[in-house]
Amino acid sequence: MKSYLYKNIFIATDGSEPNKEAVNHGLEVAKISEAKLYVGYVVDTAAFASIPMDAGWEMMYELLEKEANEATDTVSEMAKAQNIDVETIILEGHPSHEIIEFSKNNSIDLIIMGTLGKSGLDRFLLGSVAEKVLRNSKVPVLVVPGSPTNE
């Protein structure tokens, strides 16, 4: 049953175990609605803005970029296995801002994201990212609670 409500769905992922619930919800909604799925990861370069550009920064960026590609490729493979039209996106900047801007510029009808990050500070940061997206987005946002990995 094709939905005309959701034509373009954006899943924001960080590749973490707790984020899998959000990914699963996103895949299900995309499949049911026959929507185009965008899977995105935001490399938070804003966190490194005060650090001088040197070999250490470049190494950190390469690690983050690798993590981003792994996270989006994993979800993309899951989507393709379910015959979902999918495109992966790697964004750079402040996560909430980039998610909202991408959604505005790409006719996104629904943003899906989790509430928990990987651990510790990441968990806190992703929670605050979800809150900022929820407060500032002009399109519906589905925030899916995940299970912490240390429980």
Q: What is the pTM of this model?
A: 0.85
pLDDT digits (tens, 9 = 90+) for 125-144: 445 888 899 999 999 999 99
Mean pLDDT of 112-127: 60
Q: Could you tell me the pLDDT band of residue 146, with boundaries at 50, 70 and 90?
A: confident
Burial 125-141 (b: 16+ CB within 10 A, else e): bbeebbebbbeebebeb
Beta-bridge mates of residue 40:
12, 89
Residue 56, helix vs strand vs coil: helix
Q: Please, what are the domains in the chain? A: 8-144 (3.40.50.620)
Backbone angles phi, psi at 140, to 5 degrees: -60, 145
